[in-house]
Chains A and B, each alone.
Chain A
Amino acid sequence: MVLIMLIATLYSPLSSFLMAQQTTAGRRYLRAFVSGFFVAVPVTVTVLDRFAYVARVEGASMQPFFNPEGGLKSDIVLLNRWSVRNYQVQRGDIVSIVSPKNPQQKIIKRVIGLEGDFIRTLGYKNQYVRVPDGHFWIEGDHHGHSLDSNSFGPATWTSSSCHR
């Protein structure tokens, strides 16, 4: 992202510098490269932010759905960001959210309950929990080996994407 800002600040003086020089083949190639780069980077960044995102699943918390063989091979998934633009998921969807415990880590879990549902928890401080508004209850398929709502409570919409 710092690279993007550097390119943006360099683009206008660079292009005016290029106009001022005589257009040889090398200069023309450089101008085409810079303008193409300035188109490709924002479009790629927008697509990754708004439409789809590729990620690798690590860990055993979603076995046997993801990583059934364990530590040797990690599954690669395509996450759909367009379907959660209105903040609507259904029970049973697998979502990826930013972990409430560590804002630099993303976790992939399954949605068990939506707002208003009553959940019977496994190992949470209360045995029965009503999911508050704007939150949802996520659990990994491999109970016991999973950092999910049973540890940190109902999760909220921290930059999520959905894998159906």
Chain B
Amino acid sequence: MFRRVLGKTLGFVGYTIQYGCIAHCAFEYIGEFVVCSGPSMEPTIINHDVVFSERMSRHLCKIQKGDIVIAKSPYDPNMNICKRVIGLEGDKVCTSSPSDLFKTHTYVPKGHVWLEGDNLRNSTDSRSYGPIPYALIRGRVCLKVTKYIDIYNIKKTANVSFCNIRKLVMIRSHVYGF
């Protein structure tokens, strides 16, 4: 009787360990669902939105400009941040705010990326803490789960928002003549 209970408990523990390890591999190497909070990525991602971030691009080093990524915060490793990649290593990025008269630029150093939120007025990102190492990136956001259960492909909005940002930069450069 006791041996049967022990056998069943060991079997249960074994299955738990096995499925726990499979779950860990899935979350670490395939993707995970993330709940985003904060206004820094509006209107692309609103407060309390659920998004799916996939891990394969990060392990294969295929993160590109314009992708929305989930990264570890450089000031607190327990917190994650969700921002858009504006510049990869070697790119020239604009660090001054739109209201400044003189534009300042920096080059993103080797092995780092420059992140900015879509809601530029209400976002702490690389404009305050500088470029972050590539290894802090955890995954790339590819899908957003909307309230009405249909999956909304976030890539299309990413292209539209990125085009808007580019148009803004071109208008600014025309006005200030550089």
The complex places the Cα of A131 from the Cα of B72 at a distance, in Å, of: 18
* A156 and B133 form a contact (CB under 8 A): yes
Checking A42, A104, A157 against B24 with a beta-carbon cut-off of 8 angstroms, the contacting residue is A42
Total interface residues on B, using CB and 8 Å?
A: 29
Cβ of A134 under 8 Å from chain B? yes
Cβ of A21 under 8 Å from chain B? no
Given A50-B24, A101-B111, are A156 and B74 also a contact pair (CB < 8 Å)?
A: yes
* A135 and B135 form a contact (CB under 8 A): no
Cβ of B10 under 8 Å from chain A? no
Interface residues of B in 61-106 (CB under 8 A from A): 61, 72-78
Checking A43, A100, A102, A157 against B21 with a beta-carbon cut-off of 8 angstroms, the contacting residue is A43
How many whole Å from A37's CB to the nearest CB in chain B?
12
Contacts of A5 in B (CB 8 A): 29-30
Given A45-B21, A46-B25, are A100 and B133 also a contact pair (CB < 8 Å)?
A: yes
* Per-position 1/0 for B46-72, Cβ under 8 A of A: 000000000010010100000000001
| Nearest B residue to A101, CB-CB | B111
* A100 and B112 form a contact (CB under 8 A): yes
How many whole Å from A136's CB to the nearest CB in chain B?
11
Checking B18, B72, B111 against A100 with a beta-carbon cut-off of 8 angstroms, the contacting residue is B111
* B135 and A1 form a contact (CB under 8 A): no
The complex places the Cα of A87 from the Cα of B136 at a distance, in Å, of: 14
Cβ of B169 under 8 Å from chain A? no
Given A50-B24, A158-B136, are A1 and B110 also a contact pair (CB < 8 Å)?
A: no
* A102 and B59 form a contact (CB under 8 A): no
Cβ of A59 under 8 Å from chain B? no
How many whole Å from A151's CB to the nearest CB in chain B?
11
Binding site for A on B (CB under 8 A): 17-18, 20-22, 24-25, 28-30, 56, 59, 61, 72-78, 109-112, 132-136
Binding site for B on A (CB under 8 A): 1, 4-5, 39, 41-43, 45-46, 49-50, 87, 97-104, 132-135, 156-159
